[in-house]
Amino acid sequence: MNILTMDANEHILRDKIGKLLTSDEYELDLVDISHGCWQGEESNTYRDGSHPIYGVWASISLEIGGFKMLSFGESVDDHRTMIFDISTRSLIVKFEHRIVRAGYRCLNCKTYSLTSYTKILEKLMVTHRMEAHLDAIIERIVDDSPTREQRAKMEAIERQMVELQKCAERRCCKIIRPNMEFSGPVKLWHECLQAYKALIRQKTGNSRNSSNIICTALRRGIENPRNMMLEAMKHNEQYCKVRHNNLKESAPQLRRDFFP
């Protein structure tokens, strides 16, 4: 297991050193863990620079709990200080598996339905007297030690609160549900079906983004989409539709296999 922090004097992802460290050819099993804190926009790590030239590489088997890159004002030198933590069990204890945590999502406060959601939720809370029920339970708790019955009541209130949140969400925005569970095969045939539908629209003159449609078709593995005849497109569209619909019965099991 290895941890490498280095000033590469070049872009840590696009240039030579970064690519060599993460290349499969040398079997170093290193990944760059510093670019994950960029939040979609790369930042210079040297005060007078314009690109990220300082990075941290760690073995794939190490479990990284968090990563923070300080501003220049908070850092000691003219490079931005990077702070990260590694779980002890992956560093010094016998480690048999690696937990991959889901990436965080930035809070979006510009959603048009956010105000409507808040109003609906607050109205539901007043209607069901959520605060009054919770206050009544808290008043009966002695020495901050709730009884088993009181814990059960608070858990019931929490479950009811989740249901109210879901209800408010359904009322303020349209929730589009797929016709079957997600998995690799379902995604494959759905994307192929959509690609052929787009090709048909482009062939019949009902689309303006011809170049994007052709590029998408090529990414879906469709050969020579630009010169394909309309009859062939319609035939392949029906074939993809049949293959996609045939997965409805096995979709739940395919999802369990895809997300073990």
pLDDT above 90: percentage of residues in the chain: 33
Summarised one tens digit per residue, pLDDT across range 105-146 is 555 666 677 788 889 999 999 999 999 999 999 999 888 888
Q: Give CA–CA dist 183/162, Å, rounded.
A: 27
Cα pseudo-dihedral 40, 45, 46, 52, rounded to 10: -60
Q: 180: closest CA among 250, 86, 236?
A: 250
* pTM of the entire predicted model: 0.42
Summarised one tens digit per residue, pLDDT across range 135-153 is 999 999 888 888 999 999 9
Summarised one tens digit per residue, pLDDT across range 33-79 is 887 777 667 778 888 888 888 888 888 888 887 888 888 878 877 88
